[in-house]
Structure 1
Amino acid sequence: MRLSRFVSAAAALVTGAVLTATGANPAGAAGANYVALGDSYSAGVGAGSYTGESGDCLRSTKAYPQLWANSHGPSSFAFTACSGARTSDVLNNQLGPLNSATTLVSVSIGGNDAGFTDVMTTCVISSESTCLSRINEARNFVNTQLPAKLDQTYAAIRSKAPSARVVVLGYPRLYKLNGSCIVGLSETKRTAINNAADLLDSVVSQRASAAGFSFGDVRGTFTGHEICSNSEWLHSVEWFNITESYHPMASGQSGGYLPVFSAAAG
């Protein structure tokens, strides 16, 4: 989907208002040494055009890191984000390209630690009470265990890239409540899933700020483009390509994530 100039300008205003900018100085775009870390939302799962070299990581040429690199021409670009990644995967498998010359890092992480896939599967195939119970388990994990995992991950990034501006990207709310969907999950399930996304973003934002990193809140740019809206940027259940379910389409990467990251990257 191609955004109009008006929507692009509005997105920039929204992202400027919600962005918490802390830490190192702006990366300087053209001269940046940029490393993109994280999970499927950074890899671009759901956007199509996956690169052969990325294998099961499903890195897309339409993911926001690649789009930003295409338009800004950084001095170097390493893309190690991977579908399904948890904080441990970032620590063990993705930090290799980071060094003292790295000036810009992006990362989205935490959703898989909290059991994103299992939560959504449970809510799709199980009763309302079972769905809400599984969401409550995830919320408890986010409150009690995820902060330490994020702190460890962010500390490792800072240690390996001491001079970099680090931008931590959050997650969108999945559903437009009281929207256009007439089948599928109940409104109670959708509300609980959205509230869990808000909690996850709150914790990720707090830990990013504590690490001296910027937090890019994409909920504003995705507002009006959730599942059950009239202009969806997110996949619902994709029965014939289940991996892409509940991930941003190419339009969600370019219209939802890219403006937020661009505003933070400087």
Structure 2
Amino acid sequence: MAKKSGGGLLLLLVIVAGVLGYGYFRSQQGSSAEPPAPPGSEAGGGVGRYVALGDSYTSAPRTGAQAGTPAGCQRSDNNYPHLVAAALNPAEFADVSCGGATTAHLSSAQQTKDGTNPPQLDAVNEATTLVTVGIGGNDVGFVALAGQCATGDPAAGPCKARLTAGGKDELAAKVNATAAKISSVLTKIHDKAPNARVVVVGYPTILPDGNGCWPSLPIGAPDVAYLRGSLTKMNAMLAEQAKKHQAGFADTAAMTKGHDLCAASGTRWVEGLIPSAAAIALHPNAAGARAMADAVRKVL
């Protein structure tokens, strides 16, 4: 295989750097689970209040027209919360997701390049009957690794070597540390909306099985496997926290398997470094948003 030129690799790294503020990647299974339905938790058919919380995998930048404020959240009117709301038809709907959000931004304001997003939990109240929440990837920091793992050698694994040096898996440790933050978020949601069904939304399949698709994704096979395994752990943690906190879990990884960023254009539901459909790099396109909405509706 011809070696990629240094200029081409540099261009890909620049593109990666341009999306670091939005979200991240993740992967596989969690097995969907239906949320308990407390009395008075109806949200559909013209009744109830649905609130969507989350990061850029929820806000789905560029997959539709700008929805709500601030514009810096790049919240799409074609993201999975809007699609779920259109199918359910609740009396009230609030999508307060925002690209780049961490668990801290559910309880505190988030500054964006174009406006401030209030604490997302401010939208949750006693009248809320359904909450979906897709958060945690930015706490772990997966997306920042895209530039750090890029390599001109398809057999190299610089990130795995560095992050597992000395026998300690740093990504696994970060996923474990994020579990306590997710636990706190779910406790706060239940406290603010005791009659609501709560659904934790997992992350879709970004990386394929196998060695990846170097040089389109300039990450070597060892790091593709390492990141894929780490992303699987992330979704498993989210599913576990959902179960512990009487919440449902929407397994979006299963719904998007085979439609990862290495799939052919038209089959791809998650865009690569250079998007071929309306979306930002390493994030779901409109078809991916529909698949995520289907995963949420499946557990409702």
TM-score by length of 2: 0.75
Asked if the contact 1:46–1:247 (Cα under 8 Å) also holds between the matched residues in 2, the reply is: no
User: Which one-letter code corresponds to 1:130 in the other structure?
Assistant: P
Q: Which whole-Å CA distance do the structure 2 matches of 1:180 and 1:210 have between them?
A: 34
Corresponding residue for residue 141 of structure 1: 174
Corresponding residue for residue 103 of structure 2: 87
User: Which one-letter code corresponds to 1:259 in the other structure?
Assistant: D
Could you tell me how far 1:262 is from its partner in structure 2? 0.8
Corresponding residue for residue 170 of structure 1: 202
Unaligned runs of 5+ in 2: 1-29, 109-118
Higher helix share: 1
Q: 3-state DSSP class of the match of 2:122?
A: coil
Asked if the contact 2:43–2:49 (Cα under 8 Å) also holds between the matched residues in 1, the reply is: no
Please give the per-residue CA displacement for 1:237-261, whole angstroms capped at 9, x wherever unaligned. 1389xx922110111001x201111
Asked if the contact 2:211–2:221 (Cα under 8 Å) also holds between the matched residues in 1, the reply is: no
Q: Which whole-Å CA distance do the structure 1 matches of 2:195 and 2:152 have between them?
A: 47
Q: Is the aligned partner of 1:27 residue 2:42?
A: yes
Asked if the contact 1:177–1:187 (Cα under 8 Å) also holds between the matched residues in 2, the reply is: no
Q: Is the aligned partner of 1:238 residue 2:270?
A: no
Q: Which whole-Å CA distance do the structure 2 matches of 1:50 and 1:124 have between them?
A: 32
Unaligned runs of 5+ in 1: 1-16
Asked if the contact 2:205–2:260 (Cα under 8 Å) also holds between the matched residues in 1, the reply is: yes
Could you tell me how far 1:72 is from its partner in structure 2? 2.5
Could you tell me how far 1:61 is from its partner in structure 2? 0.9
Distance 1:164 1:52, change over 3 A: closer
Q: Which whole-Å CA distance do the structure 2 matches of 1:105 and 1:170 have between them?
A: 14
Distance 1:38 1:155, change over 3 A: same
Corresponding residue for residue 158 of structure 2: 130
Q: Over the residues paired in the alignment, what is the CA RMSD in angstroms?
A: 2.5
Q: Which whole-Å CA distance do the structure 2 matches of 1:72 and 1:65 have between them?
A: 10
Q: Is the aligned partner of 1:259 residue 2:272?
A: no
Asked if the contact 1:179–1:228 (Cα under 8 Å) also holds between the matched residues in 2, the reply is: no
Distance 1:147 1:180, change over 3 A: closer
TM-score by length of 1: 0.84
Q: Is the aligned partner of 1:218 residue 2:218?
A: no
Corresponding residue for residue 4 of structure 2: none
Q: 3-state DSSP class of the match of 1:112?
A: helix
Corresponding residue for residue 27 of structure 2: none
Corresponding residue for residue 63 of structure 1: 79
Asked if the contact 1:46–1:235 (Cα under 8 Å) also holds between the matched residues in 2, the reply is: no
Q: 3-state DSSP class of the match of 1:140?
A: helix
Could you tell me how far 1:46 is from its partner in structure 2? 5.1
Q: Which whole-Å CA distance do the structure 2 matches of 1:131 and 1:47 have between them?
A: 31
Could you tell me how far 1:52 is from its partner in structure 2? 6.1
Q: Is the aligned partner of 1:156 residue 2:185?
A: no
Distance 1:192 1:27, change over 3 A: farther
1:96 to 114, 118, 122: 122
Q: Which whole-Å CA distance do the structure 2 matches of 1:119 and 1:82 have between them?
A: 21
Q: Which whole-Å CA distance do the structure 1 matches of 2:152 and 2:70 have between them?
A: 33
Could you tell me how far 1:190 is from its partner in structure 2? 1.6
Could you tell me how far 1:226 is from its partner in structure 2? 0.8
The structure with the largest alpha-carbon Rg is 2
Corresponding residue for residue 3 of structure 1: none
Asked if the contact 2:206–2:282 (Cα under 8 Å) also holds between the matched residues in 1, the reply is: yes
Corresponding residue for residue 197 of structure 1: 231
Corresponding residue for residue 228 of structure 1: 262
Aligned length: 246
Q: Which whole-Å CA distance do the structure 1 matches of 2:138 and 2:253 have between them?
A: 18
User: Which one-letter code corresponds to 2:287 in the other structure?
Assistant: S
Q: Is the aligned partner of 1:51 residue 2:51?
A: no
After the TM superposition, which of the residue ranges 175-184 and 42-51 deviates more from structure 2? 175-184
Could you tell me how far 1:208 is from its partner in structure 2? 1.1
